[in-house]
Structure 1
Amino acid sequence: MSMKGLLKDFFTPLPRSLAPPPAVSPPTCPNCNDMPVLPNPATGGQFDYCSRTCATQAKNISSNQRQGQSGTLCEQCKRRQKFKAGTNVYRYCGRTCARLAANSRLSQAMTSPVNPLSPTYPASPWLASPGRTCRIHWCTGSVFVHHDGTPGDYCTMTHKKWGEHGCISCRAAPGSGASILCQSCYDNELRRAPAIVQVPVDHNRYKSVESQFKKSWRQGTPCPEVQAVYKVVVTEESQKRYKLYLDGVEARRNFAAKSKSRGNENRRWHGTVRKCKLGDPGNTTFCADAGCFLCSILKTSFNMAVSTQGWFGRGIYTSSTSSNSNGYSRNQGVSSDLKALLLNKVVVGNGKKLTQIDTTIVGPPAGYDSVLAEAAPGGSLIHDELIVYSNDAARPSYLVMYKSL
């Protein structure tokens, strides 16, 4: 055969039915187990890792003596070593894995038979100690350990934010605006309003209310310990009436221009009669006794028609002093070692200061929205009082339960 024939046979194309060999995918990076390794143009081959970051991490992992490496693997990625600071070894290699682990626990909790976002999910335990697990009541993660070896309250910074500043009901979402309930939980509570929702002891709002209770206790006896705080959820109609009154006062007085709260709104205490165990551990249902003024106020707010005649006429009396309001808080026909106070939002407006008792007053003096009764030398008052003369000038905001003296 001629040379031309040999070459023709040698270069004969493959049949069309024969498929080309399959492309070989580059191997996966052995550090992240996610991205393919990079090609190496210099050699025509491949690098060992997908990036310089993974190459550096893999190199560092080989040395257990390096600061920040514990010698045991991260509980999330199972590849990099747990972060180490001094003698403290953390559960994860860094913040990214800690965040991923927290999100994974949240996802599992949300898809579990008991949904923490459901309005029927049980409230946080009564003054429960966080122990060694996260204070988020549906989380079982181990708490963060500080550099000095003391345990924290939460497993991650995400849960710390939820616990201290987020929704008090689901504890898995931020509050809505100034509310301490997320929009979903707020809508659920509003549908069953009036209602009370327990505020977790580690929440910043609990601490705020507790601090006001203690700082405003000026009686000679020691200040009793706060045992529980409940957020009061009033009906939508009640909220609208209060807002309408506040807007009216603000329109007349323009407190916002004076760097004050709109309507000169303040938080003030009110003590009254309790004839049931509302507020005791596990008791959040209002009673039907008309003589239980605590439940009546929580259900329908304050009512001038049933208010008693006081030193400054018939009105709604509150005080900036918790010890003063404690004198009006009474348990009747019920055995309990706890007492109740209401912390209320009150539209003070332009208050008329008085130091002498005047029982003839039937409303705020002309040009004023309230009466500020103050204890002063030469006056007839021992404690301060704030008196408003409209049902819509005040709304209960928190129910505070404390040890009876």
Structure 2
Amino acid sequence: MAPQVCQLEGCGLPAHFDPQSGITHDFCGRTHAQLARQRPLRPPHGDCHTCKLDRCSKGVYFDRETGRVHDFCCRTHAMEAMAGGAHPRPNHTRAAPCGAPRCALPGCASERYYDEGTKRVHDYCGRTHAREAARRGLVPPSLAGIDDAGIEKIFGGRDGGYLISVLNADHPKVAGVKKQFVETWYHSARVPTVIRVLMIRNSRDVFNHYQAYAGAKGNVERRWHGTASECRFGIDLDQPPCTSPTCAVCSIVAESFSLSLAGTSSVGGQRRQLRYGQGLYFSKCSSKSNDYAEHSERATPTGTYRVMFLCKVALGSVHQTARPQIDDVNPILKQGYDSVVGLTTADGGTLNYEETVVYNEHAAIPSYLILYRLS
């Protein structure tokens, strides 16, 4: 199979492979990763508007997302004209503090607007981009209370109670999530490529319930969970979480897990037979959870994608079983056990791949949603 190539348009070099983690990255190196995050200028508006720099006759840059026709063909000519006094500087660059952060709208490299009167640095370069961010369902970093270093964008929840941050490739949390995905892909098929990692900050109620349970039971582990999706959240970078109560992915992000929905699928409303009773099912094997992510799959011109959760799960007291199925788990729970782990054949059990089941919906919360490419 041909090696994966750098995803920066125009670069044909092989993508960087880290032999220690076994991860194939999206780009050939950090330089091209950074260039890819800085959305390149789109084709200019046309010859009807020409660059205001005297010696340039190129068409001006037209921003299709905001509908704004700029005065110059590129940032270089804009800066040159302003430096020579031939063009006034925009308000948001006047007297801005040295090293002011960039506009929080993804793709904009302008500095954030600085209000000289209040000495406040805003989240965006101006009102146009603030309105565009709101239209996309994005939350300003200042309202989110999150340090936006290494974060591409932040989505707000259905009721504002939770947040989802799209992490840049160099965010410190990304490498560990990718490493766990690769190292726990035990099936014979090749390991898919993790394209994107989204970090979930649960609502206060969800987190408090989980924290109380985990504090009492302990034995917290990170486990994978695959499920169905009705929308393109996580796959389409401009798609915020949907509000459909039957979209499993968006409902879990918003409200965490529900025992009443265990075994159901948002596609067709069919209930699966549950191996170890009415519980919440996870696995330490990413390729096992991939089997349950089938109905999150979307085909695009660039490949076939799925999404999967990485969750914190408080296992408490674990009952390990070699049995392939348990019809009634109540006798086990009455003995003081909080979870059931089905053992693999390698460990003396009957399963090909491990399954972990908890029976309290406060025992688990989603921490990350990953987007990965199958082909």
Per the TM superposition, whether the score is higher than 0.5 is yes
Match of 2:118 in 1: none
Given candidates 212, 220, 226, the residue that maps to 2:188 is: 220
Instruction: After superposition, give the CA deviation of every residue in 1:287-338 in whole Å (9 maximum; x if it has no partner).
Output: 2333321112111111001112411111000000100100110236955521
Q: Could you say if the C-alpha distance between residues 224 and 168 of structure 1 is closer, same or farther in structure 2, counting changes exceeding 3 Å? A: farther
Q: Could you say if the C-alpha distance between residues 190 and 292 of structure 1 is closer, same or farther in structure 2, counting changes exceeding 3 Å? A: closer
Matched, 1:350 2:344: no
Matched, 1:279 2:247: no
Match of 1:170 in 2: 148
Given candidates 336, 356, 359, the residue that maps to 2:326 is: 359
Pairwise CA distance, 1:350: 1.7
Match of 1:401 in 2: 371
Given candidates 165, 174, 180, the residue that maps to 1:206 is: 174
Letter in 2 for 1:338: Y
Matched, 1:329 2:293: yes
Task: Figure out how many residues of one structure are paired with residues of the other and give that number.
Answer: 237
Which of the pair has the greater relative contact order for Cα pairs under 8 Å at 6+ separation? 2
Pairwise CA distance, 1:117: 8.1
User: Which segments of 5 or more consecutive residues in structure 1 lack a partner in the other structure?
Assistant: 1-102, 124-166, 173-179, 250-262
Which protein has the bigger strand share?
A: 2
Match of 2:198 in 1: 230
TM-score by length of 2: 0.56
Q: Is the 8 A contact 1:168 1:203 kept in 2?
A: no
Match of 1:340 in 2: 307
- Cα distance in 1, alignment partners of residues 131 and 216 from structure 2: 39
- Cα distance in 2, alignment partners of residues 284 and 195 from structure 1: 14
Letter in 1 for 2:251: S
- Cα distance in 1, alignment partners of residues 318 and 338 from structure 2: 6
Given candidates 262, 269, 284, the residue that maps to 1:320 is: 284
Identity %: 28
Instruction: After superposition, give the CA deviation of every residue in 1:227-262 in whole Å (9 maximum; x if it has no partner).
Output: 10001122101111111111221xxxxxxxxxxxxx
Letter in 2 for 1:394: A
Aligned alpha-carbon RMSD (Å):
3.4
- Cα distance in 1, alignment partners of residues 176 and 261 from structure 2: 31
Match of 1:390 in 2: 360
Describe the SS at the equivalent of 1:327. Answer: helix
Instruction: After superposition, give the CA deviation of every residue in 1:52-81 in whole Å (9 maximum; x if it has no partner).
Output: xxxxxxxxxxxxxxxxxxxxxxxxxxxxxx
Describe the SS at the equivalent of 1:310. Answer: coil
Pairwise CA distance, 1:349: 1.4
- Cα distance in 2, alignment partners of residues 300 and 221 from structure 1: 33
Q: Is the 8 A contact 2:162 2:202 kept in 1?
A: yes
Describe the SS at the equivalent of 2:345. Answer: coil
Alignment of 1:39-58 (within 5 A): none
- Cα distance in 2, alignment partners of residues 385 and 319 from structure 1: 5
**Structure of larger gyration radius:** 1
Describe the SS at the equivalent of 2:178. Answer: helix
Q: Is the 8 A contact 1:116 1:170 kept in 2?
A: no
Instruction: After superposition, give the CA deviation of every residue in 1:94-141 in whole Å (9 maximum; x if it has no partner).
Output: xxxxxxxxx821379455488448996999xxxxxxxxxxxxxxxxxx
- Cα distance in 1, alignment partners of residues 297 and 112 from structure 2: 43
Matched, 1:193 2:161: yes
- Cα distance in 2, alignment partners of residues 282 and 247 from structure 1: 35
- Cα distance in 2, alignment partners of residues 370 and 121 from structure 1: 47
Pairwise CA distance, 1:207: 0.7
Q: Is the 8 A contact 1:190 1:234 kept in 2?
A: no
- Cα distance in 1, alignment partners of residues 279 and 358 from structure 2: 6
Q: Could you say if the C-alpha distance between residues 243 and 214 of structure 1 is closer, same or farther in structure 2, counting changes exceeding 3 Å? A: same
Q: Which moves more between the two structures, 287-296 or 320-329?
A: 287-296
- Cα distance in 1, alignment partners of residues 205 and 130 from structure 2: 24
